[in-house]
Structures are given as structure tokens and as C-alpha cells.
Amino acid sequence: MDCERVGVLHGPARALAEVSLSLAPGEHVLLCGPAGSGKTTLLKVLAGLLRPTSGAVRWDGEDVAHLDEAGRRRRQASLGMVFQTDALFDSRTVLENVLLPLHNRGVGREEARARAEAALEAVGLLQAARMRPEALSGGMRKRAGIARALVVAPEVLFADDPLAGQDPATARALCELLDRQAAGRTLVVSSPEPPPVLTIQRWWVVDGGRLVHDGPPAPALIGVEEGT
């Protein structure tokens, strides 16, 4: 997966400018930067949820913009997304929320249910399968969102600021969960600062919509002292 000179305009405002990067299979990357720097926009562009205004995004060498709808859906089947806002439907149970991506991919009912229950068990929420998301704590909602992303067995997992609004203990537990579930997968986690106990080999730092660092962890770039 890579993007070349990608730019995104939201009206007159530039959300991304001339961003070029590549993502190798199995890499774990932290996408960091201040609020409004373009982190969420970049994740959505890489996941094919947002079309860039300029430049190209490629999945295994294929330009996403040139894929027809069927091709885009086929390729997106290997991607999972944990949204910052959870994006859970309160009118559905936790189980029904996790089943949605499988139904959208045409997975049979029995297989879909088995996979959804396995995903909920993996995040410790099987006992909450029949609950509505509105009845869950913030940390449980995040775990439900992770289960929904994992249920499609993604090769690439994107997590958009998954620790936002969480207390330190919950944030640490969520990081440990992501670390376990991302083993053998490609992982990109966005966060304004380094998450605790998350295995990361590479940082992308964005500021003002531009990629200002692509390489080893560089805490000084975001005002974090080494070892914190």
C-alpha cells in the first residue's frame, strides 16, 4: 500500500498536501500529530473511504481511483477500520453491529454469527453481545469497534485515535488488546501522542497536512520527552 503526492481539499481548506509514503505488510506504524493535522484524513484516504483531490493511492500497485465499485469492495474486504467515534448503531445490539461488515460482504448467516461471536470473545465482550451500545462504557464501546474491525480478518488494521477519552487504565488495556490482535497484521494507529505499551517500529508525523517525518520513533517532533 502506498500513496504518492496525495492532497485533499475540504472546501478551501487543505487537509493533506503532497503526502507520499508506503506501508509494507506486517508493519506497525504510529500516525501522530496535533489535532487537525490531517491524521484522520490520511487514514481514510489509505483505507479508500475518502478520495484524494490530487495524487494517487495504490493497493498492491492498483490505483484505487481506477477500481470500479466491485473492485473497490473486493480490495476493501482485506481492510479493517476502528473509528474514533466508534460509529456503532445504538439501534442494534453489539452482536448485530459486529455482524454488519460480514453481511455487507455476503457471508452466510451461520458463518457470520460464528465469526462475530469469536471476535467478541477475542475482545472480552461475548457476554455483552445482546446489549445495546448505549449501555456500554466508553472502553467497552471501543472494544466493540475493534471486534467489528477484526471480524473481517483484515490484513491491514487502521485505528483512528482509539484511546481518545479513555482513562489511563482503560487506554493501557486497549493498547494491549490491539497489540495482541495486530500480531501478523499490518497496523496503523493514529494518536496525538505515543500510546502506552503498543509495539511500534515506525512513525509518521503529520503537521498542517504535511508529512514531516517518516521513520523511527521521534518523540521530540511532537513535544514528548524520551521515555515518557
**pLDDT tens digits, one per residue of 134-183:** 999 888 998 899 899 989 888 999 999 988 888 888 888 888 888 888 88
Q: What is the mean pLDDT of residues 127-134?
A: 94
pLDDT of residue 224: 52
pLDDT by residue (tens digit) across 185-209?
999 999 888 887 788 889 999 999 9
Q: Is residue 116 part of a domain?
A: no
Q: Is residue 15 part of a domain?
A: yes
pLDDT tens for 14-60 read 999 999 999 999 999 999 998 889 999 999 999 988 999 999 999 88
Nearest in space to 162 (alpha carbons), one of 181, 183, 134: 181
Q: Where are the alpha helices (DSSP H) in the chain?
A: 39-46, 69-76, 94-104, 109-122, 138-150, 168-181
In a domain, 73, yes or no: yes
Q: What is the mean pLDDT of residues 209-223?
A: 84
Q: Is 175 a member of any domain?
A: no
Quick: pLDDT tens for 68-96. 877 777 777 788 888 888 789 999 999 99
DSSP state of 117: H
Domain that holds residue 61: 1-78+193-218
Is 40 inside any structural domain?
A: yes
CA separation for the pair 191, 177 (Å, rounded): 16
8 inside domain: yes
- Indicate the number of domains in the chain: 1
Residues β-bridged to residue 210: 207
Structural domain contains residue 5: yes
CATH of the domain at 207: 3.40.50.300
Predicted confidence band at 223 (pLDDT cuts at 50, 70, 90)? low
**153 occurs within a structural domain:** no
Residues composing the chain: 228
